[in-house]
Amino acid sequence: MINTKKHLSRRTVLRGMGVTMALPFLDAMVPANTLQAKTAAAGKIRLSCIEQVHGAAGSTKIGAEKHMWSPAGTGRNFDLTPTSLSPLEAYREHVTIVSNTDVRNAEAFAPMEIGGDHFRSSAVFLTQAHPKQTEGSDVHVGPSIDQLYAQKFGQDTAIPSMQLCIENVDQAGGCAYGYACVYTDTISWADATTPLPMIRDPRYAFDQLFGVGATPAERTARRQADKSILDWMTTEVSRLRNTLGASDRARLDSYLDDIREIERRIQRVESQNRSGDQRELPGAPAGVPDSFSEHVKLMYDLQALAFAADITRVFSFKTGRDGSARVYPESGVSLPFHPASHHGEREDRVTQFAQINKYQVGLLPYFLAKLKSLPEGDSNLLDQTLIVYGSPMGNSNVHNHKRVPLFLAGKGGGMLKGGLHLKAPDGTSMANVFMTLADGLGLDLKSFGDSTGRFDLNSAPETTVV
């Protein structure tokens, strides 16, 4: 497998019991006399698109006045303290906040569409296109930006893209207001008529990412033997370590330790959920944690390690489902999510919804820290990753799609400077932001959704307070 007289191929893998496991980027993969940074990062921006359903408290009148989502100051000198984005303070230089954009294509275009916002919004988030109202199989919306990137730059990875979710999104047929459930069940569309399924179970995602090539029977045998996936490739690991320098050995060991730890966490969840104890999520697969925080962090870990090994460069991640009645006790709010989002514009209830928003955003620094800890050439994965975090809804109390929450994290291989709050002019479409991101991702788009142009993501006027 390995020729020590030559540099390692970026596609060097470990094999065992039908499994093919990719490796993280190692110094040994850099050809002699080649600039490491160019070898590691060229054309390999990682993209993670994260949807937060139901908008944000900051999109309400009182929320805007009290800066519950976006900060008062624009430019670089902004204060995150009063906002739901305050957990991002430690990473502010990797964050670009874009406030005051609209998602017009999620609005009702005809009288029959009124009231169906929860059942079409998710389909609009990454497509910026207006869904056809239908409960049949003749769905139509548009290709999503994650899939446009995957189709152009993901075909030379083991998995062109992966779609993850937290809540149950496998309902069939029609949901409500004349919309097929698939519109609210996925945020990724390969083309206008092809929605992509999302993975809820961390075990299934783990097996897909780190057990590439294994048959279901082989995966079952591993679990019955109570062994880690790594136990089946110890010989290969030892052989590879013997060819590496000290820094590469440390990097390989850290990567494999992370894989083993994720696998152990999934095994603990499965063991607990099969113990017979009453579950908070009784209908969920055994690999799905009852804890929202634990579930989200597992999904973030899987993304980070898959990016490190270049197994895939594209993830979409749906952190909730419209209309969900889930309670987030760790947020300090006992109201179910959907009722909490219908706050009646009462300041105390809007403040509670802001607490839930802050709790959800507060899990992202875990992902950012992981990406920053993973080297990529002479940089790190956070600098090579673009994270799009937002919602197609604004004020959920009235189901509007104005002043929607949106921020970007990571440097995207240099496309973003970070450390900015940019307030868009009134009426600016979120699609304009996506057009600029598409340029940075290397996509040659003439238009996207209802875009009317581009939006500068790296320059701002003198800092102002709005």
**pLDDT tens digit string along 390-426?**
999 999 999 999 999 999 999 999 999 999 999 999 9
- Residue 213 is classified by DSSP as T
pLDDT, mean of residues 295-312: 96
pLDDT over threshold 80, residue 220? no
The yes or no reply on domain 34-200+291-465 and CATH 3.40.720.10 is yes
Count the alpha carbons within 13 Å of 350 in the hemisphere toward its beta carbon.
24
* pLDDT at residue 241, rounded to an integer: 84
Distance in angstroms (rounded) separating the CA atoms of residues 455 and 436? 6
- What's the pLDDT band for 175 if we cut at 50, 70, 90? confident
Q: Is residue 164 within 8 Å of 186, Cβ to Cβ?
A: no
pLDDT at residue 3, rounded to an integer: 40
| Tokens at 51, concatenated | 């949807």
E strands, 83-188, are 95-99, 162-165, 174-176, 179-180
Residue 103, pLDDT > 50, answer yes
Residue recorded with tokens 């139509």: 140
Rounded CA separation 297/366 (Å): 7
pLDDT value of residue 76? 95
Q: Of 70-74, 210-214, 220-224, 249-253, which has the strongest mean pLDDT? A: 70-74
Residue 10, judged by CB atoms within 10 A of its CB (0-12, 13-18, 19+), counts as middle
pLDDT at 377: 78
| CB 410, CB 38: distance < 8 Å | no
The answer, yes or no, to whether residue 96 has pLDDT greater than 90, is yes
**Residues in CB range of 130: below 8 A, 6 or more apart:** 105, 106, 109, 120, 124, 141
The residue type found at 431 is A
d(CA 450, CA 452): 6
Please tell me the distance from the alpha carbon of residue 75 to that of residue 330, in angstroms, as a whole number: 32
Lowest-pLDDT choice from 39-53, 255-269, 424-438: 39-53
Q: What would the mean pLDDT of 192-210 be, rounded to a whole number?
A: 95
Residue type, 179: Y
Task: Convert the pLDDT of each residue in 112-171 to its tens digit.
Answer: 999 999 999 999 999 999 999 999 999 999 999 999 999 999 998 989 999 999 998 766
Q: How many CA atoms lie within 13 A of 65 on its CB side?
A: 7
Per-domain residue ranges for the chain? 34-200+291-465, 212-287
Distances (CA, A) of 168 to 100, 322, 323: 31, 11, 12
Residues in Cβ contact with 449 at an 8 Å cutoff, skipping those fewer than 6 apart = 105, 124, 127, 128, 129, 142, 429, 431, 434
Token look-up 């954009």 returns 101
Looking at the DSSP assignment, which residues form a beta bridge with residue 385?
A: 46
Please tell me the predicted confidence (pLDDT) of residue 314: 98
Which pair of tokens denotes residue 118?
A: 């929860």
Segment 332-351 mean pLDDT: 96
Across the range 74-90, mean pLDDT stands at 97
- Coil/strand/helix, residue 177: coil
Name which residue leads in pLDDT, 213 or 78.
78
Instruction: Report how far residue 285's alpha carbon sits from residue 204's, in angstroms, rounded to the nearest whole number.
Output: 10
What pLDDT digit, counting tens, does each position of 360-376 carry?
Answer: 999 999 999 999 999 88
Facing residues of 429 across strands? 102
Question: What is this structure's pTM?
Answer: 0.92
Q: Which of 40-44, 217-221, 455-459 has the lowest mean pLDDT?
A: 40-44
In whole numbers, what is the pLDDT of the chain averaged over residues?
90
For tokens 């799905």, the residue is: 288
Which pLDDT score is estimated for 23?
A: 82
Q: Give residue-wise pLDDT tens across range 233-288.
A: 777 788 888 888 888 889 888 988 999 999 999 999 999 999 999 999 988 999 99
Q: What is the mean pLDDT of residues 24-28?
A: 81
pLDDT at 24 over 50: yes
At residue 327, the 3 state secondary structure works out as coil
For residues 135 and 207, give the distance between their C-alpha atoms in angstroms, rounded to a whole number: 33
The alpha carbon of 89 is separated from its chain's Cα centroid by a whole number of angstroms, namely: 19
**What pLDDT shows up at residue 230?**
78
Please give the backbone phi and psi of residue 219, each rounded to the nearest 5 degrees, phi first: -65, -40
pLDDT at position 1? 43
**Interatomic CA distance for residues 149 and 416, integer angstroms:** 17
CA distances to 145, 265, 268, 291 from 294, rounded to whole Å, are: 28, 9, 12, 5
